[in-house]
């Protein structure tokens, strides 16, 4: 059964501010968009869960970028899960939905044989945030090591290291099954971030053994007290409250932070969207020589390509790629 809250709030990012604590944040709920992203692939449950977490992080972080910008997360490791990649395409204009997509590269046999946690299956590697502001603008890239035991912890470290902003996430994902219906993926999350004017400088030394800054390294005095208070309140959130659909995001904010005077802003709708197409595939193929195209041509005389994000399949005549690739 679909509830009114599900209709109103699913596939949205809701920005808010806690006026009494100098803290801003976002609440995200993804239902149809997340299920569509994961439905493009037959991932093992552990991989699907990590991809879902990455999608939620991407939606919350991406909500802050400018119109027509693109924000991507890349999680790369040396373990059975080699890569998780996400893209968030900001709306073309106010009121339009943003688009999001994701995929993972992994070794199914190694995952099946592993008794490690999903995050441990990524291994050693990096967590990268990339922002593309469009033609003529220099892309931004921020990188931090994989550490902390979760993708949320990696994102918190990224903001502490690269942006000098105390940041905290609470994330929940899972498959929900209504009577008479198949299982669908749902996810919800909250992001808290101390306002930058209250924390302009980091302390001299990180608080952990990995020489990485953490949120508590960036605040002191009243700012530290405010941050600790809202962090403790966020820790009381329950999985069912995050995922919904029975508790709406605005109701949840009041439940968690009513003494902080939460103030909400316009929600940003989000949907699954892939930017692949024949023209982009042809553009990608243009870097290859006629000899390369010849090697890519199958026995049927076609050059094929598949989109890793949405699974779309493309076939081309070698001559259509502008190369004389006849055998």
Cα dihedral 311, 9, 170, 122, rounded to 10, equals: 0
Report the CATH number of the 278-321 domain.
3.90.1280.10
- Strand stretches in the chain, DSSP E: 12-18, 23-30, 70-77, 81-89, 98-106, 125-132, 140-145, 167-177, 183-194, 262-264, 268-272, 303-306, 313-316
Domain boundaries, the chain: 10-272, 278-321
- pLDDT, residue 221, reads 87
Burial (CB < 10 A; 0-12, 13-18, 19+), residue 308, is: middle
Whether residue 294 contacts residue 266, with contact meaning beta carbons closer than 8 Å, is answered with no
- pLDDT, residue 151, reads 98
Report CA-CA distances (Å) from 154 to 120, 162, 285. 13, 12, 35
- pLDDT, residue 199, reads 40
pTM of the predicted protein model: 0.87
Placement of tokens 């909250």 in the chain: 190
- pLDDT, residue 176, reads 81
Q: Which two tokens stand for residue 270?
A: 């989000």
- pLDDT, residue 291, reads 81
Which stretches of the chain score pLDDT less than 50?
1, 198-205, 323-327
Topology annotation, domain 10-272 = Hsp33 domain (3.55.30)
For the chain, what's the residue count?
327
Alpha-carbon distance of 272 to 307, in angstroms, equals 14
Alpha-carbon distance of 51 to 170, in angstroms, equals 16
Whether residue 17 contacts residue 250, with contact meaning beta carbons closer than 8 Å, is answered with no
């Amino acid at each position: 059964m679909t509830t009114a809250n599900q209709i109103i709030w699913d596939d949205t990012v809701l920005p808010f501010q806690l006026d009494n604590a100098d803290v801003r944040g976002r609440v995200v709920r993804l239902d149809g968009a997340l299920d569509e992203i994961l439905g493009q692939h037959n991932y093992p449950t552990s991989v699907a869960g990590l991809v879902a977490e990455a999608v939620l992080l991407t939606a919350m972080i991406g909500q802050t970028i400018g119109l027509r910008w693109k924000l991507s997360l890349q999680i790369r490791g040396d373990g059975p899960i080699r890569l998780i990649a996400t893209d968030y395409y900001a709306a073309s204009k106010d009121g339009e939905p943003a688009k999001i997509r994701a995929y993972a590269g992994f070794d199914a046999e190694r995952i099946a044989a592993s008794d490690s946690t999903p995050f441990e299956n990524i291994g050693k590697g990096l967590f990268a945030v990339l922002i593309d502001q469009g033609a003529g603008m220099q892309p931004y890239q921020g990188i931090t090591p994989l550490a902390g035991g979760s993708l949320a912890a990696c994102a918190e470290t990224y903001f502490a290291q690269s942006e000098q902003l105390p940041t905290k996430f609470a994330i929940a994902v899972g498959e929900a099954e209504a009577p008479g219906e198949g299982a669908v993926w749902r996810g919800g999350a909250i992001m808290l971030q101390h306002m930058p004017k209250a924390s302009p400088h980091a302390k001299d030394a990180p608080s952990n053994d990995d020489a990485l800054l953490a949120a508590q390294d960036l605040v002191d005095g009243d700012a530290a007290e405010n941050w600790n208070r809202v962090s403790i309140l966020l820790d009381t959130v329950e999985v069912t409250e995050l995922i919904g659909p029975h508790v709406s995001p605005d109701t949840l904010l009041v439940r968690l932070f009513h003494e902080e005077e939460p103030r909400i802003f316009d929600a940003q709708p989000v949907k699954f969207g892939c930017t692949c197409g024949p023209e982009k595939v042809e553009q990608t193929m243009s870097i290859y020589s006629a000899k390369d195209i010849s090697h890519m041509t199958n026995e049927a005389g076609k050059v094929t390509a598949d989109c890793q994000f949405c699974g779309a399949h493309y076939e081309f005549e070698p001559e259509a790629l502008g190369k004389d690739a006849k055998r």
